[in-house]
Chains A and B, each alone.
Chain A
Amino acid sequence: MFSNFDFDVIARSWPYLFKDGMSFTLMLTGLATGAGIVLGTLLALMRLSKFVVLQKFAATYVNIIRSLPLVLVIFWFYFLLPYIGQWALGSERPMAVGAFMSALVTFSMFEAAYFSEIMRAGIQAVPRGQFAAAQALGMRYHQVMGHIVLPQAFRAMTPLLLTQSIILFQDTSLVYVLSLTDFLGAASKVAQRDGRLVEMYIFAALVYFVISFGASMLVKRLQAKIAVR
């Protein structure tokens, strides 16, 4: 069955696949995870704050983003960002936004909604008494959050945050719709150039599988470590 397959195409395109493609994918995953967690934590804090406007804003944002397919959100930001840039800089023409930048903003904003749900659960899991005790000691809001609540929430939620970032890693493959050269984009370009769709897509599936499966095994081990205290 595999007799007329040319697995050499993988060896030939190795540097392109990994140096161009995979490094794009990993960089996007890493940066978007970082930005997504920061934004997500801010959204969670807004949602749990006593200001109704902030609560409403964060809830609406999270619910809308979570109701939309990522592909649609990718298109939205791709077309919207140049106008937002123009408006922010007050320039005359829509700003030219690089493809990587566009993808990074999209994934950070999109995943922030999901990260915020995790962080909200983490913050709510910290006993209320701790908040009250810290306030009784004269701590201000940012001190209570920064020194007492958030460190515990982060620690408890680390496995979930990491699991979400594995999902994010898989989701970055969707930049395919913008014809960017992430790992899948690179594989697909080689596949079409050399007419080797079967080999390239099987290989791509294998690589995604090995990374995601390996990472989720590590998360499981970490989870077991955190759980037993």
Chain B
Amino acid sequence: MNYKWNWGILFEVSPEGKGTYLELLLSGLMWTLTTAFFAWLIALLLGVTIGVLRTLPSRAGRLVGNTYVEFFRNIPLLVQLFLWYFVLPELVPERFGDWLKQLPNAAFYNGVLGVGLFMSARVAEQVRTGIESLPVGQRMASTALGMTTAQTYRYVLMPMVFRIIFPPLTSELLNTIKNTSVALTIGLMELTARARSMQEFSFQVFEAFTVATLLYLVTNMIVTILMRRLEKSIAVPGYLGTSATVVVH
């Protein structure tokens, strides 16, 4: 290989003038984590709502829930981001559209919204599977006790569901973190984008990508360890700790 390694590059000041290359990568990591955090909030809130909707006795509710999930699952995340970023401002009333386009940090808001909605469909799928995995008897018993549907969900089903689906939700959280990288296409300066721009400025491709890779691996490891701990403390006694492997990314 005639590639010239130069790890010292990390401590050189980048031409953007905002600190060293290493600091630039770390600021990228911060954007990755911030975007993922807010996207995950959206994904959880909407995902749980839609997931519950899909298990309700109401036919209309199920139809709405299923349509929602199919819409967000069958369009690539990248295309969805383009829809929010390029298409949405043109479809709303002009003044609102102009305001959207001039928003500072538009890439960030769009990244949060786009990744959040995309992930909410996956969370909804996990929530639905979780609810359906509970014995039908629980729902029947609640009805027999005179509970309303809302009470059944609030006091009987959901407390179990959240604990059962915790492991697959952990992998969806990790997916959320990874998926924020797609937002580099709309200009979000997250970790992968920072590595890419470091490569463009310094030509030290492999140093940039190695550091980015390590940062992703460490993030992944920390989140996994924290979630495992939480998982142990909330696991339902008598249930198997791990549910079926979820093959998604």
A residues in contact (CB < 8 Å) with B: 1, 64, 66-72, 75-76, 79-80, 83, 86-87, 94, 114, 117-118, 121, 160, 164, 167, 170-171, 173-174, 176-177, 184, 188, 197-198, 201-202, 204-205, 208-209, 212-213, 216
Contacts of B217 in A (CB 8 A): 64, 67-68
CB of B91 within 8 A of CB of A72, answer: no
Nearest residue in B to A169 (C-beta to C-beta)?
B76
Q: Which residues of B contact A171 (CB under 8 A)?
A: 76
Say yes or no: is B162 at the interface (Cβ < 8 Å to chain A).
no
A57 CA to B145 CA in the complex, in Å? Answer: 55
Interface of B is mostly: helix
- Note all chain A residues with C-beta closer than 8 A to B195: 72, 75
User: Contacts A72-B209, A209-B74: A198 and B249 contacting too (C-beta < 8 A)?
Assistant: no
CB pair A173 B87 closer than 8 Å: no
Contact A69 B192 (CB under 8 A): yes
**Cβ contact within 8 Å between A197 and B87:** yes
Interface size on B, residues (CB 8 A): 44
Hey, what's the 0/1 contact readout for B215-249 against A, CB within 8 Å counting as 1?
Answer: 01100100000000000000000000000010111
Q: Which residues of B contact A198 (CB under 8 A)?
A: 86-87, 90-91
Distance, CA A174 to CA B185, complexed state (A): 9
**How far apart are the CA atoms of A51 and B217 in the complex, in Å?**
26
- Given the contacts A171-B76, A173-B78, A176-B185, A86 and B192 also touching, CB distance less than 8 Å: no
A80 CA to B1 CA in the complex, in Å? 11
Contacts of B70 in A (CB 8 A): 213
The 6 closest A-B pairs by CB, nearest first: A69-B181, A212-B74, A170-B76, A69-B178, A67-B220, A173-B76
Query: Which residues 8-63 of B sit at the A interface, judged by CB distance below 8 A?
Result: none
Chain B 72-110, CB-CB to A under 8 Å as 1, else 0, gives 011111111011001100110000000000000000000
A72:B71 contact, CB within 8 angstroms: no
Contacts A164-B247, A201-B86 known; A72 to B212 CB distance under 8 Å? yes
Q: Is B74 within 8 A of A213, CB to CB? A: yes
Closest to B212 in A: A72
Q: B residues bordering A, Cβ < 8 Å?
A: 1-3, 70-71, 73-80, 82-83, 86-87, 90-91, 174, 178-182, 184-185, 191-192, 195-196, 199, 205-206, 209, 212-213, 216-217, 220, 245, 247-249
Q: Across the interface, do A160 and B86 meet the contact criterion of CB distance under 8 Å?
A: no
Return the chain B residue nearest A161 by Cβ.
B247
Name 24 interchain pairs, CB-CB below 8 A, sorted by A: A66-B249, A67-B220, A71-B181, A71-B184, A71-B192, A75-B195, A75-B209, A79-B205, A79-B206, A86-B1, A114-B247, A117-B245, A171-B76, A174-B76, A174-B182, A177-B185, A197-B87, A197-B90, A198-B86, A201-B82, A201-B83, A208-B74, A208-B79, A209-B71
Closest-CB distance, B110 to chain A (whole angstroms): 13
Contacts of B78 in A (CB 8 A): 173-174, 176, 184
User: Which one of A76, A79, A177, A212 contacts B184 once the chains associate, using CB atoms below 8 Å?
Assistant: A177
Would B247 and A79 count as touching, CB distance under 8 A?
Answer: no
Q: Which residues of B contact A1 (CB under 8 A)?
A: 91
Q: How close is B26's CB to chain A, nearest CB, in angstroms?
A: 16
Please tell me if the beta carbons of A72 and B213 are within 8 angstroms of each other in the complex.
Answer: yes
> Does B181 lie within 8 Å of A72, measured CB to CB?
yes
Contact B247 A160 (CB under 8 A): yes
